[in-house]
Chain A
Amino acid sequence: MNKDFQNIDVLITKHMDRELSTVDWDRLYEGIQQRLDDVENQDNKTSARKVMLRWGIALTSAAAIVLAVFMLAHDSEQPLPLPPGQQVAVKLSEPDSVVKIEIENPIASVSIKLPAGQTGVQTVTLNAQIVRCDVTIIDQNGHAETQNSPRPSWIIIAASKSEHIQTQTDKDQVDIACLL
């Protein structure tokens, strides 16, 4: 072997031996034990946390299910805000092309947008219940509105059928627009 190469090995080995002589082997062993204990404790803590997290998820899910069932049962017990056949007279609050109507009666208060001059079957939400109504727009003299009649100021809403909200999409569609 090249003499320089030997010298490099000697330099490194000498230095290594010098450093090795300073090593406290018991302390090193204790250090390793300490680190291993820490790892084991960490593992145990992580396992405990996982178990607690699983329990938390299970309890929350159960609570959510119970709440949903309770709300459905509670909703179904509520009387219809607008019984079938009953008519409610509604005053138009804005004489715009798209008018805002406010229903005011003892059991419901709601705002819907209704294109002026349109009648027919309307779906509105009263007290979180979807109610399909027959809407008749009348003029100030109490006659049904025609294309040429003056701006109406009153409409009549008569509930014909009630439907519970089945899906969020259905609810959104109903809440956003009243489709004739």
Chain B
Amino acid sequence: MKKTLHKVDAKDDTSTLVKKSQEGDRNAFNLLVKRYQACAMKTALRILANADESAEAVQDAFVTAYLKIKKLRNPEKFGFWLLQIVTNYAIRRQRLIVKRRRLFKNIDHLQPAIPNHCENTISTGEIQSAIQSAMSKLTKTQIRALALFGIEELSHKEVADILGCSPGAARWHVFQARKKLKVLLKDYIE
């Protein structure tokens, strides 16, 4: 995509910025990045529970969005479209994390055990691992639904639109996800 010299205003609405991006305006896309990076990061964090991994997923998502933005037919739906991409990358990365952890678990058997001096407190890392493994037990749709329902900026109708189902079905996926997590994370719930 070539850099062009369109006048880009930070006050431009998303549709205008998307249209300019589709014409090859990198500055317009940069404004979209600034506008949506927080929302994308929150969504990724709800799936990956780790800031570094989420940042990677968000970067991948923005690169894909940049490369495919010309194919986006409804510029006003850029946000939904981006979050779909973010959740896809986050889920993919989450599967990798679980695989990696299994591999390291096997290696850990060969290492001498490190004594735990604070057995009564649950560390952030432990919660993070627990959330990640619990999430890996959910279906992709359940993960997406749960992640998107937690984003305040999105209404249930909008979440359903992103998931491509009715609001009732979206709520059902969230219910099923929470039901599974209730069992899987029972040790961590206050």
The interface of chain A, by Cβ under 8 A from chain B, is 2, 4-5, 7-13, 15-16, 18-20, 22-23, 25, 28-29, 31-33, 35-36, 39-40, 43
Contact = CB atoms under 8 A, between A and B. Distances in A.
Interface of B: 1, 3, 26, 29-30, 33-34, 37-38, 41-42, 45-46, 49-51, 54-55, 58-59, 62-63, 66-67, 124, 127-128, 131, 146, 150, 178, 181-182, 185, 188-190
A39 B66 contact: yes
B37 to A, nearest CB: 6
Nearest to A43: B1
Main secondary structure of the interface of A (DSSP, over half): helix
Contact of B128 (A15, A29, A33): A15
B45 A16 contact: yes
A28 to B, nearest CB: 5
Given A16-B49, A25-B37, A39 B67 contact: yes
Contacts, number: 89
Contacts of B190: 7, 10-11
B185 A15 contact: no
Given A12-B131, A15-B128, A19-B50, 16 more contacts: A2-B178, A8-B185, A11-B131, A11-B190, A12-B150, A13-B150, A19-B51, A23-B55, A28-B37, A28-B41, A29-B33, A32-B58, A32-B62, A36-B29, A36-B63, A39-B63
Interface residues of chain B: helix, strand, loop or mixed (majority): helix
A144 to B, nearest CB: 82
B181 A8 contact: yes
Contacts of A10: 190
A23 B38 CA distance: 10
18 contacts: A2-B178, A7-B189, A7-B190, A11-B127, A11-B185, A12-B146, A15-B127, A15-B131, A19-B45, A19-B128, A20-B51, A22-B51, A23-B51, A28-B41, A32-B37, A32-B63, A40-B26, A43-B1
